[in-house]
Structure formats: structure tokens, C-alpha cells
A and B are shown apart, each in its own frame.
Chain A
Amino acid sequence: MSARRFNWPLWAGFLLTLIASLSYVTFFVKFPETRDFPWVNLLLFLLAAMLVVVGIRRGFARDRAHPTRSKIVTSIVAALSALVVASFIFAIFIAARWLPASTGAPHVGQKVPEFTLSDANGRQVSLNQLISEPIGGQAPKGVLLVFYRGWW
């Protein structure tokens, strides 16, 4: 076998786990089809895992120039890759479910509480205004209230 200095599958696999994680929050989250279930990212993780497995086999091969050092580096990079995948799974499937039950939220058929809040320009806006001010010359049929976490 040829002299294998650089264990590229190992590092490519590690890099791919990082790309797979970051691409979800920076890109795939923009599209409902790839956001609701992160299948693209999980596929990328699968590819990364295959690369890392190949990398581990290389790193533990007997023909390495520095077998001990190679084994240590390989183990650390493989463990880091696993950690990245585990963090992603934890953040998306577990921590994201830590939401209050909100059992006291208005139900279907109930009236929602009236409110007056200021908009982005500092103008005071009431719910009553929102459901009565015309939209394009027509009386509105209703409002869609979207509560979001915000940037804080």
C-alpha cells in the first residue's frame, strides 16, 4: 500500500458533520420541507459517518508512519464527530420540545383577550383595530396572531 500520511476521509467526515449541523440553522430551516424534519442534514450525517468509519480503519491501519499518534488523533476526531452529531440530535429533537404546555391558552371557540401594543414604529395598535381596519379596501375576515420567541 502507498504511504498514507494524511487521513482525508477522517477529516472530511468530521468537517461534514460540522457542515451538516450548521447548514440546518443557516439554510435548511428556511424551507418548511427541510425544516420540520431535518432529513437532508441526517443524510449528510450518514455520509459523514461513513467517511469517519473509513477514516478510523485508515487511522488504525498497521502501515501508519506513527501508529500510536495516528490512533490517538483518529480517536479524538472520531469522538468529536460523534459529539457534533449527538449535539445536533439533542438540540433539534429533545431540547426543542422543552416548551410550556400552555393549557390556559385560548381554545377554539373562545374569545381571545383584548390587547394594545406598540408596533415597530411605536404606534399603539389594539386587537380591535387589527380586526376592523380594512385590508385593501375590504373589511378583514380576521387576524393571524403569530407569537414568536424573538431575538431578545
Chain B
Amino acid sequence: MRSIEQSLASFNQAGIRPVAISVDSAEVTRDLMQKAGYTFTFLSDPNAEVIRRYDLVHAGAGEHGHDIARPAEFLVDRTGTVRWLNLTENYWIRARTEDILDKAKLLP
């Protein structure tokens, strides 16, 4: 997310709106955004309802055994169709922003 924030101008130029989603409350999210300097859209899914609908629940992996999201990225076009996705196998390894921007160029 740090690299997304750093490449925000490129995302805007490519017409791609980055959106981060987690189980964090609005309060925790505000805190994170302030500390890390994130300015793009962050959404809260405290009961992991949307995360469940996307089959991205990492059951019991949060504090006190709460369900959280596994890391995942989806590039979705304006019709709501997935054009590219990344389901990492190791949570320290994430998609590179430059690769995502390359894929974004292929969108109509």
C-alpha cells in the first residue's frame, strides 16, 4: 500500500482508483492512514462480510481469533469484471505496483 500511495499519480493517470479493504474499523483505518500518509480510499469490513463473499477469509488469523482478510489484489474494469488478480502464497510477497500499472494499461 505504501508503493500504491507513492504511485498514486500514475494510477490517476491510468484511470485506476486504488481501494484498500480490511476488517479494521473506521477509527483504526483513520489512524493507519494518518500515520502512513495514505490518501486513497480505505473501506472497513468489520464483520468480514464482503471479504467472505470474495472467499478471502483467513479464519482466526486476527487478534482474539477474529477472521481477517488474506492479502489479495484485483484489477476490476468499469463493468465490474476481473481483468487481473494476485493471490499471494506468502504474505511478505506482494504484487509490484509497476506490474499492476502495466496490466492497467490493457484496460479499455
Contact = CB atoms under 8 A, between A and B. Distances in A.
A and B: partners? yes
Q: Majority SS of interface residues in chain B?
A: mixed
A141 B63 CA distance: 37
Contacts of A107: 82, 85
B67 to A, nearest CB: 10
A115 B74 CA distance: 14
Contacts of A136: 12
Interface in B1-33: 1-4, 11-12, 14-24, 26, 28-33
A152 B15 CA distance: 31
Contact of A113 (B1, B54, B78): B54
Interface string A111-126: 1111101111110010
Contacts of A104: 55
A131 B76 contact: yes
User: What's the interface size class on B, roughly?
Assistant: 35 or more
Interface string A73-112: 0000000000000000000110011011011111111111
B58 A149 contact: yes
Contacts of A152: 23-24, 28, 62-63, 66, 68
Interface residues of A, number: 56
Interface stretch (A6-14, A29-37, A46-54, A60-68): A29-37
B103 to A, nearest CB: 9
Contacts of A128: 80
A22 interface: no
A60 B76 CA distance: 62
The 9 closest A-B pairs by CB, nearest first: A150-B22, A104-B55, A141-B15, A117-B43, A150-B24, A147-B69, A145-B74, A152-B63, A142-B77
Given A119-B41, A131-B77, 11 more contacts: A32-B97, A92-B92, A100-B58, A112-B74, A112-B76, A118-B44, A119-B44, A121-B26, A130-B41, A141-B77, A144-B73
12 contacts: A30-B2, A35-B92, A96-B91, A99-B70, A110-B81, A118-B26, A122-B26, A127-B80, A144-B17, A148-B22, A149-B71, A152-B63
